[in-house]
Amino acid sequence: MINPEVVASGDEIDASVDLLIQRCLNVDKPQSFFLFAGAGSGKTRTLVSALEHVRSNFGEALRLKGQRVGVITYTNAASEEIKRRLAFDPIIDVSTIHSFAWSLINGLNRDIREWLRTNITEDIEKIVEKDAKGRKSSDASEKRQAKITSKTKRLENLDSVKRFVYSSTGENRERNSLNHAEVIQITSCFLETKPAMQSILVGRYPILLIDESQDTNKHLINALFKVQAIHKDTFVLGLLGDMMQRIYSDGRDGLGSDLPADWAKPEKQMNYRCPKRIITLINKVRSATDGQVQQSRPGCDEGCVRLFVLPSNTDDKLSAELKIAQHMAKVTNDEEWKELKRCKNLTLEHRMAASRMGFSDMFIPLYEIENWRTTFLTGKLPAVQFFSNEVLPLIKAKRNEDRFAVARIVRKLSPLLSAEVLRTADDQRSQLQQTTVAIDKLISLFKDGADPTFAAVLNSVVESNLLSVPESLQLNASSSKAPVSEVLPAEASEDDRRATAIENFLSAPFSQIEYFSSYVSGKAHFDTHQGVKGLEFDRVMVIMDDKEARGFMFKYESLFGGKSIDDSSVQGVRRLFYVICSRARKSLALVAYTESPDRVRQFVLDQGWFAAEEIIMGVPS
At 614 the pLDDT is 98
Using alpha carbons, list the distances in angstroms from residue 38 to 133, 137, 338.
47, 51, 31
235/205 Cα distance (integer angstroms): 8
At 426 the pLDDT is 61
**340 in Cβ contact with 353 (< 8 Å):** no
> Stretch 298-313: mean pLDDT, rounded?
95
**183 in Cβ contact with 105 (< 8 Å):** yes
Q: Does domain 276-348+529-617 have CATH number 1.10.357?
A: no
DSSP string, 264-293: B--B--EESSS-HHHHHHHHHHHTTTT---
Per DSSP, 146 falls in state H
Query: Is residue 498 pLDDT above 90, yes or no?
Result: no
At 489 the pLDDT is 52
414/468 Cα distance (integer angstroms): 7
Query: Is residue 109 pLDDT above 90, yes or no?
Result: yes
With 0-12 CB in 10 A as exposed, 13-18 as middle and 19+ as buried, what is 117?
middle
Other Cβ atoms closer than 10 A to 292: 16
Element holding 460 (H helix, E strand) = helix 454-464
**56 in Cβ contact with 47 (< 8 Å):** no
Query: Model confidence over 444-476: pLDDT tens digits?
Result: 999 999 999 999 999 999 999 999 888 888 887
With 0-12 CB in 10 A as exposed, 13-18 as middle and 19+ as buried, what is 221?
buried
Q: How confident is the model at residue 564 (pLDDT cuts 50, 70, 90)?
A: low
Helices (H), 465-619: 471-474, 494-506, 512-520, 546-549, 556-557, 568-581, 597-607
> Stretch 527-539: mean pLDDT, rounded?
90
Q: Say which amino acid occupies 394.
A: L
Query: Is residue 139 pLDDT above 80, yes or no?
Result: no
Query: Is residue 483 pLDDT above 50, yes or no?
Result: no
At 487 the pLDDT is 56
At 455 the pLDDT is 94
Residue % of the chain over a pLDDT of 90:
67
Is the torsion defined by CA of 379, 381, 382, 384 positive or negative? negative
Query: Model confidence over 84-108: pLDDT tens digits?
Result: 999 999 999 999 999 999 999 999 9
Q: How confident is the model at residue 2 (pLDDT cuts 50, 70, 90)?
A: very low
**Half-sphere exposure in the Cβ direction for 223 (13 Å, CA):** 22
User: What are the helix and strand counts (H, E) for the chain?
Assistant: 28, 13
Element holding 21 (H helix, E strand) = helix 15-24
Closest CA to 533 of 327, 241, 288, 133: 241
Q: Does domain 13-105+185-268 have CATH number 3.40.50.300?
A: yes
Other Cβ atoms closer than 10 A to 213: 25
Show Cβ contacts of residue 495 under 8 Å, excluding neighbours closer than 6 positions. Answer: none
**Beta strand residue intervals within 179-223, DSSP E:** 207-210
Query: Is residue 3 pLDDT above 50, yes or no?
Result: no
Closest CA to 194 of 96, 97, 124, 110: 110
Query: Is residue 272 pLDDT above 90, yes or no?
Result: yes
Other Cβ atoms closer than 10 A to 440: 11
Residue % of the chain over a pLDDT of 70:
92
Per DSSP, 469 falls in state P
24/263 Cα distance (integer angstroms): 9
Other Cβ atoms closer than 10 A to 295: 17
Long-range interactions of 254-257: CB distance < 8 A, separation 24+: 255/34, 255/213, 255/214, 255/221, 256/34, 256/36, 256/214
Per DSSP, 43 falls in state H
592/597 Cα distance (integer angstroms): 8
401/417 Cα distance (integer angstroms): 20
The SS3 of residue 434 is helix
Task: Check for a shared fold between 13-105+185-268 and 276-348+529-617.
Answer: yes
88/176 Cα distance (integer angstroms): 32
Q: What is the mean pLDDT of the chain?
A: 89
Q: How confident is the model at residue 550 (pLDDT cuts 50, 70, 90)?
A: confident
What b-and-e string marks burial along 584-611, b requiring 16 or more CB atoms within 10 Å of the CB?
bbbbbbbbbbbebbeebbebbeeeebbe
320/223 Cα distance (integer angstroms): 49
At 248 the pLDDT is 80
Residue ranges of the domains in the chain? 13-105+185-268, 109-162, 276-348+529-617, 360-519
> In residues, how long is the chain?
621
What b-and-e string marks burial along 516-540, b requiring 16 or more CB atoms within 10 Å of the CB?
bbbbbeeebbbbbbbbbbbebbebb
Query: Is residue 486 pLDDT above 90, yes or no?
Result: no
